[in-house]
């Protein structure tokens, strides 16, 4: 019954999110397209940007663009789907290796499907689920004692440039090596860290920007989905979307408690939980990790949680220390309670999203769209500098346009204009010589530039386009 419920809810999420595409994945397409045109790590051609936090995924997207052309969005979604399937397989295999029956291992392997956010990220075409799958694969290999030095010297540097959170995985593996008193692996991890820092320093020296900066920028500039608390003068932030997942921790805690005095022991699992679950959550609360969209980038944490739960559940069931049926029933009840709420919060997506994305990647569309906008704005002098909050519009505009980011994700210059939690948009727009603001200013942060300083463009222009009128900064 638990398997049927979990599978049914998972299929519901898959069916709901299968057509979706857009947003952050388009940013990877922008960087990949510019790379193929001879502008590596540049959001606007000719300017290096800190906006690409996953250079490895950018290379993968660029390769897909060469092979698939305008169908690269479909390729990105297939990578996400394969990553989700691989993640479920790895979790089920881990349970099987710990002595679980085939049925129990299948149920445990399907656990990632009870999180709609995981299915959504896989369907969206982002790198987050691919990274989560690779983290679980690395952990399984390390716990099995396989290829530890290869993982430390080659695997971790590559994973760091897939997602910077791989630094936490490195700390976790170091802790495991210390617990095992594995001196060779410790030295290999130190060498891998040196290689990673050297590569990052080389890229930073070449580009003049830190390629991993946007995560901290989001922490500084974006607060829209977060709960703010101030305790003893220290401000904390918590992503609302993360909270429901904590309920799934209750069955895990019950199994871990049952095994606390077991000969099997849980020292290594405790170390993994601390470095890949507790520590990133603490960093998030202190805004050192992105405060907005934390749940989106924490897919590796969810995956690790289910991976460890599968291992512990299989051991407990084999030893007769935990009633698997009751615990899985509890998970099914939680899933039935939480998954529909997630779909209500994130109502159905349009089936045209993927088809539209494929059409908009084509060079013909980019040229047509750019011509239309250029004419609507009255053929202003080139380059036309515009500022937007959702910067993926860059993928639909040609070299006549320069796109500035109002949330700082692809433009580290924004840091200079953060003042006591508010943003001096006036100073930023003036410094970056922005001529047009599209869609107004973000409302989820403090805004120092009032709408009165923006003049609406004539009715012939696209909706919600404003001409900047001598912005004066904060008042």
The percentage of residues in the chain with a pLDDT greater than 90, rounded to a whole number, is 30
Residue 79 is predicted with a pLDDT of 96
The mean-pLDDT minimum among 88-102, 227-241, 273-287 falls in 227-241
Give the pLDDT band (50/70/90) at residue 39. very high
Q: Where are the beta strands (DSSP E) in 182-242?
A: 226-231, 234-239
468 pLDDT exceeds 80? Answer: no
Q: Are 354 and 26 in contact (CB under 8 A)?
A: no
Query: How many whole angstroms separate alpha carbon 209 and alpha carbon 211?
Result: 6
Report pLDDT for 298.
85
pLDDT at 224 > cutoff 60: no
Top-confidence range, 129-138, 252-261, 398-407, 462-471: 129-138
What pLDDT is attached to residue 149? 95
Mean pLDDT of 123-143: 95
d(CA 457, CA 419): 29
Predicted local distance difference test score (pLDDT) of residue 435: 83
Contact 442, 408 (CB under 8 A): no
Q: For residue 444, is pLDDT > 80?
A: no
Range with the largest mean pLDDT of 91-105, 228-242, 452-466: 91-105
Short-list 274, 265, 163, CA closest to 215: 163
Question: What is the residue-averaged pLDDT of the chain?
Answer: 78
Phi, psi (degrees; rounded to nearest 5) at 99: 105, 10
DSSP string, 76-140: HHHHHHHHHHHHHHHHHHHHHHTT--HHHHHHHHTGGGG-HHHHHHHHHT-SHHHHHHHHHHHHH
Closest CA to 101 of 310, 297, 334: 310
Q: Residue written as tokens 């857009």?
A: 22
Q: pLDDT value at position 243?
A: 60
CA distance 456 to 451: 10
Question: How many CA atoms lie within 13 Å of 454's alpha carbon, on the beta-carbon side?
Answer: 22
Q: Is the pLDDT of residue 229 over 60?
A: no
Q: What is the DSSP letter of 151?
A: I
Q: What is d(CA 20, CA 141) in angstroms, rounded to the nearest whole number?
A: 33
What average pLDDT score do residues 15-20 get? Answer: 82
Q: Which of 32-36, 46-50, 270-274, 451-455 has the highest mean pLDDT?
A: 32-36
- Higher per-residue confidence, 460 vs 172: 172
> What are the structure tokens assigned to 284, written together?
């998030």
User: What pLDDT does residue 61 have?
Assistant: 96
User: Which of 191 and 125 is assigned the larger pLDDT?
Assistant: 191
Residue scoring higher pLDDT (474 or 114): 114
Cα separation of 23 and 392, whole Å?
Answer: 6
Q: Work out the pLDDT band at 219, boundaries 50, 70, 90.
A: very low
The one-character DSSP state at 263 is: T
Task: Give yes or no for residue 386 having a pLDDT over 80.
Answer: yes
pLDDT at residue 151 in the model = 96
Distance CA 70, CA 82 (A): 20
* 320 token code pair: 């007769």
What is the model's pLDDT at position 161? Answer: 93
CA atoms 273, 128, 249, 253: torsion sign: negative
d(CA 159, CA 137): 12
In the chain, what are the domain boundaries? 2-345, 362-468
What digits encode the pLDDT tens for the residues 396-442?
888 899 998 877 677 878 778 776 656 777 778 888 888 888 765 55
Q: Which residue has the higher pLDDT, 346 or 157?
A: 157
CA distance 427 to 116: 40
Q: How far apart are CA 190 and CA 278, in angstroms?
A: 23
Mean local confidence (pLDDT), 40-55:
88
Write out pLDDT tens, residues 284-317: 766 555 445 667 788 898 899 889 888 888 887 7
Task: Indicate the burial class of 399 (C-beta count within 10 angstroms; 0-12, 13-18, 19 or more).
Answer: middle
E-strand spans in 198-265? 226-231, 234-239
% residues pLDDT > 70 (the chain): 69
Residue 214 has pLDDT above 60, yes or no: no
């Amino acid at each position: 019954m638990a398997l049927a419920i979990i599978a049914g809810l998972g299929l519901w999420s898959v069916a709901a999110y299968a057509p979706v595409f857009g947003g952050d994945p388009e940013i990877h397409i922008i960087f990949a397209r510019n790379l193929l045109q001879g502008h590596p790590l540049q959001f606007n051609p000719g300017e290096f940007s800190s906006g690409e936090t996953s250079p490895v995924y950018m290379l993968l997207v660029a390769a897909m663009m060469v092979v698939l052309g305008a169908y690269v969005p479909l390729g990105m979604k297939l990578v996400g789907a394969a990553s989700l399937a691989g993640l479920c397989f790895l979790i089920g295999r881990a349970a099987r290796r710990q002595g679980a029956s085939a049925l129990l291992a299948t149920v445990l392997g399907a656990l990632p499907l009870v999180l709609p956010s995981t299915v959504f990220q896989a369907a969206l075409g982002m790198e987050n689920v691919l990274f989560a799958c690779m983290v679980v694969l690395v952990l399984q290999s390390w716990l099995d004692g396989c290829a530890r030095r290869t993982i430390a010297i080659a695997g971790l540097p590559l994973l760091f440039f897939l997602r910077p959170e791989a630094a936490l995985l490195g700390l976790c593996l170091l802790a495991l090596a210390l617990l095992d008193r594995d001196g060779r692996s410790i030295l290999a991890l130190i060498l891998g860290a040196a290689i990673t820092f050297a590569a990052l320093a080389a890229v930073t020296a070449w580009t003049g920007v830190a390629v991993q900066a946007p995560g901290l920028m989001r922490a500084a500039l974006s607060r829209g989905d977060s709960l703010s608390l101030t305790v003893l003068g220290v401000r904390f932030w918590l992503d609302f979307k993360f909270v429901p997942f904590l309920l799934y921790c209750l069955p895990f805690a019950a199994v871990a408690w049952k095994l606390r005095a077991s000969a099997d022991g849980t020292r290594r699992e405790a170390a993994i939980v601390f470095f890949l679950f507790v520590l990133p959550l603490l960093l998030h609360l202190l805004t050192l990790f992105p405060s907005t969209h934390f749940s989106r980038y924490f897919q590796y944490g969810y995956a690790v949680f289910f991976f460890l739960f599968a291992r512990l559940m299989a051991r407990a069931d084999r030893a007769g220390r935990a009633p698997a049926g009751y615990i899985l029933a509890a998970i099914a009840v939680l899933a039935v309670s939480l998954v529909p709420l997630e779909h209500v919060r994130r109502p159905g997506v349009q089936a045209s999203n993927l088809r539209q994305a494929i059409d908009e990647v084509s060079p013909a569309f980019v040229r047509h769209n750019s011509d239309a906008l250029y004419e609507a704005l009255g053929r202003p002098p080139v380059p036309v500098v515009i500022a937007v909050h959702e910067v993926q519009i860059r993928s639909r505009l040609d070299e006549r346009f320069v796109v500035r980011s109002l949330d700082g994700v692809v433009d580290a210059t924004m840091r200079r204009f953060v003042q006591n939690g508010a943003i001096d948009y006036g100073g930023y727009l003036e410094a970056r010589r922005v001529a047009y603001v599209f869609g107004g200013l973000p409302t989820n942060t403090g805004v120092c530039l009032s709408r009165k300083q923006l003049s609406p463009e004539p009715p012939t222009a696209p909706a919600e386009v404003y001409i900047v009128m001598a912005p004066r900064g904060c008042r």
